[in-house]
Structure 1
Amino acid sequence: MGVIAPSVIAVAKDGTHRFSKEVVEEITIRAGLGVEGDAHAGETVQHLSRVAVDPMQPNLRQIHLIHTELFDELRGKGYDIASGDLGENITTRGIDLLGLSRDTLLHIGESAVLRVTGLRNPCKQIENFRTGLLGEMVEKSPEGLIRKAGIMSVVVADGVIRAGDAICVEATGRGHIPLERV
């Protein structure tokens, strides 16, 4: 089997603060804001738990990406997870999201550009969604915890993103900066 070219499998959004998002045909993203019509779009933090701490902190979680390879792994453990179920805006295939460097640029489709900010921290909502799932989203390694719940990013350039769009990874040129939770 050959190498799979990095691509978008599905896109999703939700105008309210629910855990899962609805898969849609396309999403429009806006620089500095996020997905049009999504509850997490904004220059300042929109995640309710973080708003409660400091509503003026910058929104480093405008776009949430998860790799569909995680869904494949979870399916093998008895969990049937579909795109949008874990609250992601973009489901990918063929890209090691968790291995990317902070500030990596992701060029998607014709004009969209995202800048990777960090890891999504698996939270209690995942356990509420499916009992036992939270334990599958965190793995212990000699280097510390591996958080598998995807990555977060901010929008650098406007664009429309659809399933099937190619993803081109652009390294920062500053060496690898490991992702931390944001």
Structure 2
Amino acid sequence: MGNEGTDRSEVVAVSRDRDHRFSKPVVDEVTLVEGWGIEGDAHAGTTVQHRSRVARDPSQPNLRQVHLIHAELFDELDATGYTVEPGQLGENVTTRGVDLLGLPTGALLHLGDDACVRVTGLRNPCQQINGFEPGLLRQVLGRAEDGTVSRKGGVMGVVVAGGVVRPGDGVRVELPEGVLEPLSPV
């Protein structure tokens, strides 16, 4: 797991936004803070920060401190006529060469020299994606051949070790011990 046709699994872009907007501007670097998320990002915090989740129960733990998407999704979307760039789907970290959707719950993603994110689950694509580009939701949320829901909108995680992350940094996957549990939406 981790290398799919590239010489190296890496970070291709990082994004953050202090405000709750759908897309996040690409920046030169982000600082991950243990137990908090990305410094200066609206979704950082120990409790839920996504508006819909805050409305339901603001005391829930924040399992969505960091949103990661694989750049291979953008390649796939481009082949269907949709042009999507890093940060435009609201992710904080865009990777290449890592099978994010195939990771088990609890996998650790070591980003650069120091930062580490524990994967908590899948991002559940929502209707806002169609506001960004009409029809895009059906490209990132569909049905697999067996009839199950297929979510391609990336993964969510929590910061377990802080550090600065920049484009070009390596990504190393560490699988959890024991029985590997597939990702489910968080």
Task: Tell me the TM-score normalised to structure 2 length.
Answer: 0.95
Alpha-carbon distance, 1:139 to partner: 2.5
Q: Distance in 2 between matches of 1:164 and 1:32?
A: 24
1:27 matched residue in structure 2: 30
Q: Which runs of 4+ in 1 moved over 3 A?
A: 1-4
Secondary structure of residue in 2 paired with 1:20:
coil
Alignment check: 8 A CA contact 2:5 2:97 kept: no
Letter in 1 for 2:157: S
Deviation string for 1:61-95 (max 9, x for gaps)? 00000000000000011111000000000000001
2-side partners of 1:47 and 1:2: how far apart?
A: 34
Change (3 A) 1:2 1:20: closer
Q: Tell me which residue corresponds to 1:161.
A: 165
Unmatched tracts of structure 1, length 5 or more: none
AA of the residue aligned to 2:86: S
1:111 equivalent to 2:124? Answer: no
Which stretches in structure 2 are left out of the alignment for 5+ residues?
none
Match of 1:56 among 55, 59, 81: 59
TM-score by length of 1: 0.97
Q: How far is 1:173 from its partner? A: 1.5
Residue 146 of structure 1 and its aligned partner are, at CA, apart by 1.1
Q: Aligned residue for 1:134?
A: 137
Q: Does 1:40 align with 2:43?
A: yes
Structure-1 separation of matches of 2:60 and 2:81: 38
* Distance (whole Å) between structure 1 residues aligned to residue 150 and residue 101 of structure 2: 9
Percentage identity across paired residues of the two chains: 57
1:74 matched to 2:97? no
Higher mean C-alpha deviation, range 1-10 or range 57-66: 1-10
